[in-house]
Amino acid sequence: MRPYVMLTMLSTAVALLPGHAQAQTTAPSATATASPSSPPPQGGSSVDLTDTRILSDPLFLPRKGQVYGVTAYTLDMPKGDNFKAGVNTGSFTSSDSLVDQTIAYGLLNNLTIRLVQGYGINSRDSTSAATGDVTTGGASGFNDPTISATFRVLDEPQSPVILNLTASYSPDTFASKASGGGSDGTIARGGQTAGLSFALGRVTKSFTVAATAASTHVGSQVTELLSNLTSSSSDAYWSYNLGLATQTRFTDRWSLDAGVAFATAGSYNVSNIETGNAHVFAPSSTRSVNVAFNYHFLPNRLVGSVAYTYNGYTDATNTFAKAASDTAVENRMGNTVGFRLLYVTK
């Protein structure tokens, strides 16, 4: 899927969005950038629904001078079947916990910068490594931080829609180690990434809808294989994401998020640095459905959120020179639950 195809799909999705109920500003989200011309709301006992900056909203962005934060915990529980040379060699289940901290600052009403850092603990009773061998063990540690900047190109009420453009970069900060030999691995990638994403949406008094598209370049990666004390090298590749997010606001404090997403990536070469043994890895595509309930503990200042996501995956395959070595992960699916606390300064 090429970037221009993604942009065409994005434009089509927004063309189908519901009509604008009234010229008002509703809130942007973590990947949005702030900027209404009216001054920020000053306190009050409820969320000002004439303002497009609602803290819980999928398009929320802080205004100039505001500090915005998100503390999130997610538990992902995927499972699937391992195959080698077409034979089912077993199954796996996993429990992957991640704590993410986001800090953002509004440089301008239409320009925001942010930093995201996470710490994860992954445990498995059996899983298939990149080489297809069945191994046991977990992984833990910090993931690589991500820095990004969002520019709001169009904003309500001056425009009938909100359009955000976000650029992101993640350095190769921590080493990537695959568990094995009785030792746990890490959750870092072992390489750099850079991405570009768009969010195009419309906000009405009680409803928000936004279409998103993202393209990420994942740089070449090196992973230490603790199972045999060698290392693997992976070529660079591109990944793509499309999504549709909505929020329905029942009251000033309660709201419901609902959305769908699709993610895919191109195949790439993986080789063992010491032995030269190589194969082609074709990652799975992911289809997700998600819902979340949000509650404003402090109107437009402090929000709690509980979320659930169902993930369905296509098969992932490793293709070697000899078919007898080929492996695959099939019938993979996963449930993810999460809790978030969102907050912003006045």
Distance of alpha carbon 27 from alpha carbon 300, whole angstroms = 10
- Beta-sheet pairing, 302-313 with 316-320: unpaired
> Is 80 exceeded by the pLDDT of residue 71?
yes
Q: What is residue 126's predicted lDDT score, i.e. its pLDDT?
A: 62
| pTM for this prediction | 0.81
The candidate with the shortest Cα–Cα distance to 209, out of 219, 218, 217, 199, is 199
Q: Which of 37-46, 67-76, 173-182, 290-299 has the lowest mean pLDDT?
A: 37-46
pLDDT band for position 11 (cuts 50, 70, 90): very low
Count H helices and E strands in the chain, helices first: 1, 21
Q: What is the pLDDT of residues 193-241, one digit of tens each?
A: 999 999 999 998 899 999 999 999 999 999 998 888 899 999 999 999 9
- CATH for the stretch 3-344: 2.40.160.40
* Domain boundary assignment for the chain: 3-344
Neighbours of 3 (CB within 10 A): 14
- Token pair of 166, please? 């976000």
List CB contacts of 48: < 8 A, sequence separation 6 or more: 41, 300
The answer to whether residues 260 and 301 touch, using CB atoms and an 8 Å cutoff, is no
In the DSSP assignment, the letter for residue 145 is P
